[in-house]
């Protein structure tokens, strides 16, 4: 995705984002659901989009965390980042020992798996730093083998232009016919490479009320998805990341998956 090339200097130098920056605090926030919605519906949305948009939820947590730091040790200049600026979040998380980057390019943690959001506090104080941990993927290729669009052609390399998440969220044009029949009913995002990852057997349900799905979403049938109206879309996803694809985009995805 071309926008990732923008502001590359800021991705490499945190002081361009926070003057005088000396430390990056990397955080992971669990979003693994208590109940998987895909068991009650033949059409699927990624788990991270079940509840309220994580950008708002996690940033609120980070602001509270920063306030506690300032209260504890005095004046600290810093900023919270949740996908909101050019920050190399996986690289910082890897350096901090939060996890290692898996073959599906996601950060993996031995205790949590990969169903967690990454976020950062960049602050102007020196801290005692943790270091990276080893790669525990070993010879496993489950994520590569399971991807129906072959978006992981080699370990640690993801071809974003072939990813179901890209097709259903980022792509604004018509979805290419060559991938028809390969989406396995995903209409917003995709969790396949995470669902098959052995480390996600250690994922534990989150306790974040704002990540709970609306009751109406839990009962969505295939027919409900097909007949969804603009008003229902706006009401159901008013605080959700699903709004990124917009109503027209979601309808396009539903029609594509249903071979219409």
231 is annotated as an active-site residue: no
Quick one: tokens of 188?
């917003």
CB 114 within 8 A of CB 107: yes
Spatial separation of the C-alpha atoms in residues 203 and 201, rounded to whole Å: 6
CB 79 within 8 A of CB 122: yes
Active-site position among 83, 111, 130, 145: 83
Q: Which residues are catalytic?
A: 83
């Amino acid at each position: 995705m071309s926008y990732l090339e923008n502001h590359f200097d800021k991705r490499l130098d945190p002081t361009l984002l926070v003057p005088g920056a000396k430390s990056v605090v990397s955080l992971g926030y669990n979003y693994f659901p208590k109940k998987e919605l895909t068991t009650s519906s033949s059409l699927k949305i990624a788990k991270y989009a079940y509840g309220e948009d994580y950008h708002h939820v996690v940033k609120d947590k980070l602001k509270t965390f920063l306030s506690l730091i300032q209260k504890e040790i005095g004046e600290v200049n810093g900023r919270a980042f949740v996908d909101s600026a050019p920050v190399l979040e996986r690289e910082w998380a890897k350096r901090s020992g939060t996890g290692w980057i898996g073959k599906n390019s996601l950060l993996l943690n031995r205790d949590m798996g990969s169903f967690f959001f990454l976020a950062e506090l960049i602050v102007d104080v020196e801290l005692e730093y943790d270091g990276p941990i080893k790669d525990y993927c070993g010879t496993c290729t489950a994520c590569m083998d399971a991807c129906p669009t072959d978006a992981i052609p080699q370990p640690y390399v993801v071809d974003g232009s072939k990813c179901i998440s890209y097709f259903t969220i980022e792509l604004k044009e018509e979805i290419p016919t060559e991938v028809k029949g390969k989406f396995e009913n995903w209409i917003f995002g995709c969790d396949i490479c995470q669902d098959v990852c052995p480390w996600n057997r250690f994922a534990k349900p989150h306790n974040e009320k704002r990540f709970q799905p609306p009751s109406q979403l839990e009962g969505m049938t295939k027919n409900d998805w097909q007949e969804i109206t603009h008003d229902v879309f706006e009401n159901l996803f008013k605080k959700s990341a699903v709004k990124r694809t917009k109503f027209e985009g979601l309808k396009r995805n539903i029609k594509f998956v249903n071979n219409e």
